[in-house]
Structure 1
Amino acid sequence: MTQPGPPRLWDISAPVHAASPVYPGDAPYQQQWSATIGADSAVNVSRLTLSPHIGTHADAPLHYDNAGAAIGTVALDAFIGPCRVIHAIGCGPLVHWRHIAHAISADLPPRVLLRTYEHAPVDRWDEHLSAFAPATLERLADAGVRLVGIDTASIDPADSQLLPSHQVLRRRGLRVLENLVLDTVPEGDYELIALPLRLTTADASPVRAVLRALP
């Protein structure tokens, strides 16, 4: 009797290396070797310097609120469970409700991930990235959504100083993933697994984000 194969996994994480784009002025990825295999060492050991916002990452409330929690103290339940991937490709500067309404239903999972790019720019900073309109986040929160994700570097416009969409996260208690890579993921429902590291004082954490097909 043929046994069913394992569930299909989509790796929706951006690669992280020295050429990975970062917000202008942020710390790029750097790796140096503290030890290498040879006469003086039995192992290779490296030292990393990087912004916690590099690649696919989860922002902590501390990122946009001086009194907010660090990422290592945030509950993990929002980062794992059923989610819906919605395409809003070419939507323009802001994702408005009309761009995602086609995929909103009464059974909307508590996690929503948006694809805005045909091909995510994993090799360059995009100053014209698509961001969430604050009203869209408000309506998603009203619908019971607890985590939002997007395939751009920020849920606010790249030049925003007031960060109104991040402030919606703060007020509504939403969690967020940024810099997802959803190029090959069809619209639909999946299981999301995107756990942040237990960085007890950090304002964000890289994640290895995957989607698993539902049974």
Structure 2
Amino acid sequence: MTTPQRSDAPRRLWDISPTVAPEAPIFPGDEPYALRWTAQLSPGCPVNLSALTMSPHVGAHADAPLHYANDAPAIADVPLDTYLGRCRVIHAMGAAPLITVDHLRHAEADLPPRVLVRVCERADTVWNSAFTAYAPEAIAWLAERGVRLIGIDTPSVDPADSKTLDSHQLLRKHDLRVLENLVLDEVPAGDYELIALPLKLQGACASPVRAILRDLP
């Protein structure tokens, strides 16, 4: 039997996280990113030390079920396996105001358990309340096909003015995980390995992630 040859060439990485900065777009009223120095290099101090304040929803982030249900797990209590593994990037540019099932059907075959949908030609760098979200029926359709994590390159899976958060509630119903505020500008449609682990933040409703995609071996 011939042993398949393995390539030693490094697999390409796509960084799909925006820079977290004071000017990063956030929901109105949310806590922006801020950094201050608690110590700085000097003759009497050998290091620079910084302190951060921010909402855990700034930049690319993973919502915890606690974000939309009081009796649900915080982000530190959510299993990590869903945030790591094979995923599919689906292009649905022009979908507005909602991603519907019709925007996803063309990529249905052999769907992996993680799906990221690109709707932006370029991800917004300023707040835009008219962003595209998910239609609840699209989330139900993905869940029926074994998807366990969904992502989007806009601030939320629900519209900015939603008070019922129907798509978030369907995430809870189907025990799906979610990534929001991704940057998929340079990523071709297709299958990749996703690595987007949330921090183990006790009691938090979300966590920033450094989300990356890697070519499959």
Instruction: Provide TM-score, normalisation by structure 1.
Output: 0.97
1:37 counterpart = 2:41 = yes
Number of matched pairs: 211
In structure 2, stretches of 5+ residues that fail to align are: 1-6
In the alignment, what sits opposite 1:111? 114
- Spell out the pairing of 1:151-162 with structure 2 (5 A cutoff): 151-162=153-164
**CA drift at 1:183:** 0.3
Q: Structure 1 runs of 4+ off > 4 angstroms?
A: none
Alignment deviations for residues 136-175 of structure 1 (CA, whole Å, 9 cap, x no partner):
0001000000000000000000111110000001111000
Q: Which amino acid aligns with 1:131?
A: A
**In structure 2, C-alpha distance between the alignment counterparts of 1:132 and 1:164, rounded to whole Å:** 9
**CA drift at 1:39:** 2.4
In the alignment, what sits opposite 2:189? 187
Q: Which amino acid aligns with 1:180?
A: L
- Spell out the pairing of 1:65-104 with structure 2 (5 A cutoff): 65-104=69-108
In the alignment, what sits opposite 1:176? 178
**In structure 2, C-alpha distance between the alignment counterparts of 1:72 and 1:4, rounded to whole Å:** 35
1:51 counterpart = 2:55 = yes
Partner SS, residue 141 of structure 1: helix
**In structure 2, C-alpha distance between the alignment counterparts of 1:102 and 1:144, rounded to whole Å:** 17
**In structure 2, C-alpha distance between the alignment counterparts of 1:48 and 1:172, rounded to whole Å:** 34
Q: Which amino acid aligns with 1:97?
A: V
**In structure 1, C-alpha distance between the alignment counterparts of 2:44 and 2:34, rounded to whole Å:** 24
Partner SS, residue 172 of structure 2: helix
Mean alpha-carbon deviation: is it higher for 52-61 or for 15-24?
15-24
Alignment deviations for residues 97-134 of structure 1 (CA, whole Å, 9 cap, x no partner):
001111111x110000000000001x211101000000
**CA drift at 1:40:** 2.8
| Identical amino acids, percent of aligned pairs | 58
Q: Which amino acid aligns with 2:87?
A: C
In the alignment, what sits opposite 2:68? 64
Q: Which amino acid aligns with 2:56?
A: P
**CA drift at 1:54:** 0.2
